Amino acid sequence: MEGVVKFFNRKKGFGFITGDDGQDYFVHFTAIPRGVFINDNDRVSFEGGQGERGLKADKIAVLQKAPRQEREQGEGQASDEEEVEEQ
């Protein structure tokens, strides 16, 4: 499945992807391969599934990075240089 990153907060390690089916999928940093960073409005592919509390995204891959201006529109988002600390 494909979709667009609605928002992703690197400090908190989670966000949401709006799938092409119109549904919102929860994304946790553990579903993103090490060294890959997603930003608001990036186009991604993922495997959608049912999680404990609703729809979730797994095996995320970036298809197309959003233009920098679109990425910077999200408020309170971590910068590209910040990484999520593994717990």
pLDDT at position 32 is 97
Inter-residue contact 57 to 31 (CB < 8 Å): yes
**HEC assignment per residue over 41-83:** CCEEEEEEEECCCCEEEEEEEEEECCCHHHHCCCCCCCCCCCC
10-66: per-residue pLDDT in tens? 999 999 999 999 999 999 999 999 999 999 999 999 999 999 999 999 999 999 999
| pTM score | 0.78
Q: Which fold has domain 2-71?
A: OB fold (Dihydrolipoamide Acetyltransferase, E2P) (2.40.50)
Task: Give the amino acid at 32.
Answer: I
Residues 6+ apart with CB under 8 A from 66: 5, 39, 40, 41, 42, 43
66-75: per-residue pLDDT in tens? 998 766 665 4
Which phi and psi (to 5°) does residue 68 adopt?
Answer: -50, -40
